[in-house]
């Protein structure tokens, strides 16, 4: 028997504190007609002595659910997927002496371009060619959301004393690494089920690159665990923000931050490590046979991964959601700082496209197994020196 009343009180006692919402609520009550509507809605009390509207809002504002759904969860991810490719096109366009998408909505600099693109993909035919493995061909782009969305459960977007994390566990970082390591498996599945020469080459490249970045990546995470002395994301933020920004991961261990960043670029196949997808060489590699909405999903795959990895980087190296408190926003301000930091990392990553050409596979592997591995090991030793010895 589930104790529903207890659950409701748990939800209502663990709410995100945003003073601005009360201000809005009181303002709404003052407006003549809307005020009475709000009062009427709040008077419907079918069960548990709580107005149903209050229950619904309370559910969204329930801390774990708020973090998962709004910031830095699904809503932020969705917004990012819609504006990040547009921002990329605009920024790279500016670097290249042009304007990028514009005419669709000239006043807002074409900001709804991605809406048109995604709608077009949605209304387009999805071709499953006869050599493809039907079942897996269609499944994998959807299944890919699983390893992308699950790490969001452990990301802490809060600041010191205000953890904003859906699930608090002492093994959070380990679980996240495990889930992130799953991502390339799905891309390989995509390439394998496409049954195409270029998809095959792209898949093999992806597998090679996977090993090249994964080991430095894991070592760097290990270095950060050693540095913070914990792998619980809630405690990581507390440790990182002890004094001021001087305890952030990027200050204490800049080498680890650099290695993590390069590993992120490699993992998301951005230039200069756009090796598995290589437009000119392999014509999108594993995704070559996808069309319509299936390609739309495959196209945003890399952006999803970028967002998750940048969020982890913000949490580990940039002190999570810590920042000057914005009045009236309460705990929302942590979320805002978190998203801003993440966005900055994303933009740096996106801008690489305008600056660097593409490495060859063997060169990418050499960087992964050579320079990055050495950097990661140095970072680990450095962490031991700082975190354990000192």
Partner 1 sequence: MENPNAHIDFLESGPLAPFKKWAAKWSLWPCHFITSCCGVELAHAFACGYDGERLGTLNLGIARQSNFIIIEGTITRKMARALQFVYGQMPDPKFVNVIGACGERGGIFWNSYNITHPSDIVPVDFFVPGCPITPEGLLRGVRALQDKIMGVDKTTIDFKKVELPFEEQLEERMVPTSPKLFAPTPEIKVDIKREVDWDFGKELEDKLKKELIGLYESMTITGVNRIAIKTTPGNLKVVAQKLKEMQFDHVKSVNVIQVPHERKFIVEYMAASYSVEELMPVLVTIFTEIGIKDPKLQSLMSVWESANYSEREMHEFFGVLFEGNDWMGKKFLLAPDTPDLPLRKEFKIPEERYAFEEGVEPEFMVPIEPPKDLYVPIWEEFIEKAYDSDEIIVPIGPHHAGSGHLRVTFRVKGDRIVDAIPEPGFVHRSMEKLAENKLYIQNIPLFERLAINDPANMNLAYVRAIENALSVEVPERAQYLRTIMAELSRIEAFYYDSGIFSLFFGHTTGFMYCMAIREMIIEALMQISGSRSGPSFIVPGGLRRDIPDTVLELIDNMTFALNRRMKKFESIFVYNPVTVARAKGVGVLTKEDAIRCGMVGPFLRASGVNYDVRKIAPYDAYDKVDFEVTTGDDGDCLGRFLGRLAEIKESVKIVKQAVDAVKGIQGPILSDDILGEYKEAASDIKGNFFRVYGNLVLPKGEWTTITEAARGTTLFTLISDGESNVPYRVRVISPCWMNLRGFMEAVKGERYADFWAVYGSFGYFPPEADR
Residue closer to partner 1 (CB basis): 223 or 301: 301
CB 141 within 8 A of CB 290: yes
**Stretch 354-383 residues interacting with partner 1 (CB under 8 A):** 354-363
CB 155 within 8 A of CB 175: no
Does the footprint of partner 1 cover residue 99 (CB under 8 A)?
yes
x/- map, 27-66, partner 1, by CB under 8 A: ----------------------------------------
Would you put residue 291 in left (φ > 0), alpha (ψ -120 to 50) or beta?
beta
In the complex, the smallest distance separating the C-beta of residue 146 from partner 1, rounded to whole angstroms, is 24
Tell me which residue has tokens 């998408």. Answer: 101
Listed as own residue / partner, the contacts of 368-371 with beta carbons closer than 8 Å and 24 or more positions apart are: 368/209, 368/211, 368/212, 368/213, 368/215, 368/216, 368/266, 369/212, 369/215
**Stretch 256-315 residues interacting with partner 1 (CB under 8 A):** 271-272, 274, 278-281, 283-284, 288-292, 295, 299
Q: CA 9, CA 50: separation in Å to the nearest integer?
A: 10
Residue closer to partner 1 (CB basis): 201 or 309: 201
Does the footprint of partner 1 cover residue 125 (CB under 8 A)?
yes
In the complex, the smallest distance separating the C-beta of residue 118 from partner 1, rounded to whole angstroms, is 8
Q: Is 182 helix (H, G, I), strand (E, B) or coil?
A: helix
Burial class (CB in 10 A: 0-12, 13-18, 19+), 260: buried
Residue closer to partner 1 (CB basis): 173 or 265: 265
In the complex, the smallest distance separating the C-beta of residue 270 from partner 1, rounded to whole angstroms, is 10
Q: CA 131, CA 182: separation in Å to the nearest integer?
A: 26
Interface ranges with partner 1 (CB under 8 A): 89, 92-93, 95-104, 110, 113, 115-117, 119-120, 122-127, 197-198, 200-201, 271-272, 274, 278-281, 283-284, 288-292, 295, 299, 353-363
């Amino acid at each position: 028997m589930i104790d529903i009343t207890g659950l409701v009180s748990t939800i209502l006692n663990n709410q995100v504190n945003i003073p601005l919402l009360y201000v809005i609520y009181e303002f709404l009550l003052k407006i003549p007609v809307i005020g009475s509507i709000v009062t009427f809605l709040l008077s419907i009390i079918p069960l548990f002595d709580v107005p149903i509207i209050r229950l619904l809002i309370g559910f969204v504002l329930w801390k774990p659910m708020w973090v998962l759904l709004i910031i830095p969860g699904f809503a932020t991810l969705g917004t990012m997927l819609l504006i990040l490719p547009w921002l990329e096109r605009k920024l790279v366009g500016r670097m290249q002496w042009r304007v990028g998408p514009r005419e669709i909505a000239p006043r807002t600099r074409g900001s709804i371009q991605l809406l048109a693109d995604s709608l077009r993909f949605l209304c387009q035919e999805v071709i499953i060619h006869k050599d493809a493995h039907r079942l897996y061909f269609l499944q994998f782009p959807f299944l890919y959301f699983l390893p992308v969305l699950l790490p969001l459960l452990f990301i802490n977007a809060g600041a010191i004393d205000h953890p904003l994390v859906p699930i608090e566990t002492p093994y959070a970082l380990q679980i996240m690494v495990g889930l992130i390591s799953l991502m390339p498996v799905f891309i390989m599945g995509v390439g394998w089920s496409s049954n195409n020469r270029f998809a095959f080459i792209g898949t093999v490249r992806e597998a090679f690159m996977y090993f090249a970045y994964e080991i430095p990546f894991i070592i760097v995470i290990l270095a950060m665990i050693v540095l913070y002395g914990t792998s619980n994301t809630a405690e990581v933020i507390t440790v990182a923000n002890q004094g001021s920004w001087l305890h952030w991961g990027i200050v204490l261990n800049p080498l680890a931050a650099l290695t993590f960043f390069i590993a992120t670029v490699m993992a998301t196949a951005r230039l200069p490590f756009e090796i598995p997808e290589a437009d000119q060489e392999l014509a999108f590699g594993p995704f070559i046979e996808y069309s319509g909405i299936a390609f739309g999903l495959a196209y945003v795959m890399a952006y999803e991964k970028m967002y998750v990895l940048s969020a982890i980087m913000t949490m580990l190296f940039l002190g999570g959601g810590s920042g000057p408190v914005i009045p009236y926003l309460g705990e929302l301000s942590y979320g805002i700082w978190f998203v801003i930091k993440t966005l900055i990392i994303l933009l740096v990553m996106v801008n690489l496209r305008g600056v660097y050409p593409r490495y060859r596979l063997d060169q990418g592997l050499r960087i992964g197994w050579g320079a990055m591995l050495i950097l990661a090991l140095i970072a680990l030793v450095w962490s031991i020196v700082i975190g354990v010895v000192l």
